[in-house]
Amino acid sequence: MDLIISNIDLSNYYTKTEIDDLDNELSTLILNTYTKTEIDTLLFNSSSQAFSAISLINLELELNYKTAAQLAETYYNKTEVDNLITFDPTVVYTKTEINSILNNNYSSIEDRDQLFLAYSSTNQINEAYYDKTETNNLLANKVSTTGTGDVAISGNLDVGVGASATSIKAYSNHLGNTSFIELESQWRDQGFLNFGTNYSGAAYLFLTVKDYL
């Protein structure tokens, strides 16, 4: 028996103490390791905040973050902004060019006001003048014409109201000579009935009554 024992290499075996220590170590390792069930629960249980599925991560990124390509489509970067606002004298007018454009194509306020003085506004015209319709209506109530050129006036014909002297003339043209008869009121105390003609012969002025003409 002793011979058998002496031929066994005990270095290839654990002692009871070593086995107990190894068991303790395995127990500790097992206690600190998740089982498959525990891992599945952590990964897929919606109440757990420890992990997120890849699909949830992608959704979060899509909703709240932009990729470099998406940023480039929507925003200018610093270099692009600097290039856009850099002063380029070829795309702006100089002060001299602006003044030339204004002088050649626009009028100053003074020029405009001076131009307006030559015109009357619609209100001014309406206040100072009768239009064609108003004039025709006024004449229709006072004067009427016939096909022969005669004019009939209804009411009184007042001529030269407020003037110091006023005359009315009636003309005729006969056989190459002209004549006129004139009724004139002059000053406060004189009145004239005058007949004038360029005929070299005798001239006559008649006063008639009862429709002699």
Q: Considering the domain boundaries, does residue 66 fall inside one?
A: yes
Q: Tell me: the pLDDT tens digits for 89-144?
A: 666 677 787 778 777 777 677 777 777 777 777 777 877 887 888 777 776 666 66
The total number of structural domains in the chain stands at: 1
Instruction: Quick: pLDDT tens for 1-32.
Output: 555 555 666 666 666 777 766 767 777 776 67
In a domain, 21, yes or no: yes
3-state secondary structure of 24: helix
Q: Is 46 a member of any domain? A: yes
pTM value surpassing 0.85: no
Is residue 154 in a domain?
A: no
Please give the residue range of the domain that contains residue 17. 1-75
144 three-state secondary structure? strand
Does any domain span residue 110? no
CA gap 164, 184 in Å, rounded? 11
Using CA atoms of 33, 38, 42, 46 in order, give the dihedral in degrees to the nearest 10: -170
Does residue 158 form part of some domain? no
Tell me, yes or no, whether 153 lies in a domain.
no
d(CA 52, CA 43): 7
Asked if residue 152 is part of any domain, the answer here is no
- Judge whether 181 and 194 are in contact, CB under 8 Å: yes
